[in-house]
Amino acid sequence: MTDTAFKRIDWSSLDAAGKKVALARPTQRTAGDVTEVVRTILNDVRERGGAAVTEWCLKLDKAPPRRIAITPGAIAEARNALPPADTRALRFAADNIRVFHQATRPEDTPYVETTPGVRSKLAWRPIASAGLYIPGGTAPLFSSLLMLAIPAEVAGVRERIAVTPPNKDAKSPWDVHPAMILAAAEAGLDAIWLMGGAQAIAALTFGAELEDGIIPACDKLFGPGNAYVAEAKKQASALPGGPAVDMPAGPSELMVIVDRDAAPEIAAADLLSQAEHDADAQVLLVSTSRATIDCILTEVEVQVATLPREAIARASLNEARAILVRDLDAAAEVANLYGPEHLSIQVEESEELVDSINAAGAVFVGRFAAETLGDYAAGPSHVLPTDGGAKTLGGVTTASFMTTMSVQLVTEDGARQLAPIAARLARMEGLEAHARAADLRADA
């Protein structure tokens, strides 16, 4: 049996520098040529608008950008193209996503009286426009469309612009997988734009007048993608007046923590479920048992050989890690240092270990909580931070499509109490105009 490409690591033998190296992301995610190509595309679209978008789409997607309207006719045609069980599954997932995000939608807080006559609260409001990038090209990721467009709808975003690369496996670049049409319909979208890569991010950033219509400049960009998409979002958000972005959402990653009682076939299947995503995806196995690692890696080799996307999975496994730890405390340390997009905990006391985790995009607890269930139908969005972003950021929620503003109500009596304090503090900072504005309230 040929061993997999997993790099084996004994965590207890490493110093701080060695641990950092052991948990390094694939270098191709930040390669210099990616940075320069993206900068070139963004600058070109900023200067020439839609013409540049079209040229880059023709060069990279082999097709010009196209708007696919989600009409009743298109929906009916898509539904007829799929088995009824497929359409029922898609609707089931959409319903779960909507239920979860409606239940977790932020609401205005009650007023809090900090001083008699001074009341304040937080008010939540939806952003005006959101650009939704849906990965594609080699697979129709209609699940990502649901995971972005439905939370945006629940939040109340008025303008949602969804873009996705044309289907490279279709007979024509115009062909759209029927599941994408149905997903867009379930999410209440009126159209999908066929365009991908950094040029699509540029169009959402600057706006673009295209043959099929106008794409407006969006206030915030959402969605995962390859290294070029992730870099384009990063550069766009750094521009003066540029859009906000949800998070670093690049190539997928999964860490699986197991003990000696884990089921090797389940752990192996979970690892491969992420490895088949993309050659740049990274999977890590963390275990307290060397024998368990051996069994799981053997099972990975058995299963990968039967995958339709075997070549992609094997390319991903070149960046895989199998980390031996002394105990579950050390396993939690590994997870928190890495900050995985997905974390699967398959140990005897899985729920207890969750209390030790503080850096993960999504945590799947126990043998039955397959990461795949979360990818499609559990409810929370599967759009999650990668590249260690989970150390400071969470995944997409309804709140991601909203902003908060403080609302302050002050009575005359409240001003008399608070104004002298504010005025004194303002003068301590040397801001006399601030102090006088407070004084006028106190003397009213």
Element (H, E) at 126: strand 118-126
CB atoms within 10 A of CB 391: 14
CB contact at 8 A, 228 and 34: yes
- One-letter amino acid at 218 equals C
% helix / strand / coil in the chain, to the nearest 5? 45, 20, 35
Q: Which two tokens stand for residue 247?
A: 């998070």
> Distance (Å, rounded) from C-alpha 223 to C-alpha 216?
17
State whether residue 57 is helix, strand or coil. helix
User: Alpha-carbon torsion 226, 232, 235, 236, what sign?
Assistant: negative
Q: Which residues pair with 161 in a beta bridge?
A: 131
**Nearest CA among 236, 309, 318, 302 for reference residue 269:** 302
Q: Between β-strands 208-210 and 213-215, what pairing exists: parallel, antiparallel or unpaired?
A: antiparallel
Q: What's 440's DSSP letter?
A: H
Neighbour-count burial of 137, counting CB atoms closer than 10 A to its CB (0-12 exposed, 13-18 middle, 19+ buried): middle
CB contact at 8 A, 70 and 184: yes
Q: What's 15's DSSP letter?
A: -
> Distance (Å, rounded) from C-alpha 175 to C-alpha 140?
11
Q: What is the dihedral of CA 219, 222, 227, 233, to 10 degrees?
A: 10
Strand order in the sheet with 66-69: 66-69, 191-194, 159-164, 129-133, 220-222, 244-245
CA 422 to chain centre: 42
State whether residue 203 is helix, strand or coil. helix
* Annotated catalytic residue, options 186, 253, 319, 341: 341
Instruction: Establish whether 432 is a catalytic residue.
Output: no
Instruction: Establish whether 341 is a catalytic residue.
Output: yes
Number of H helices, E strands in the chain: 17, 17
* Annotated catalytic residue, options 101, 277, 342, 382: 342
Please list the active-site residues. Answer: 341-342
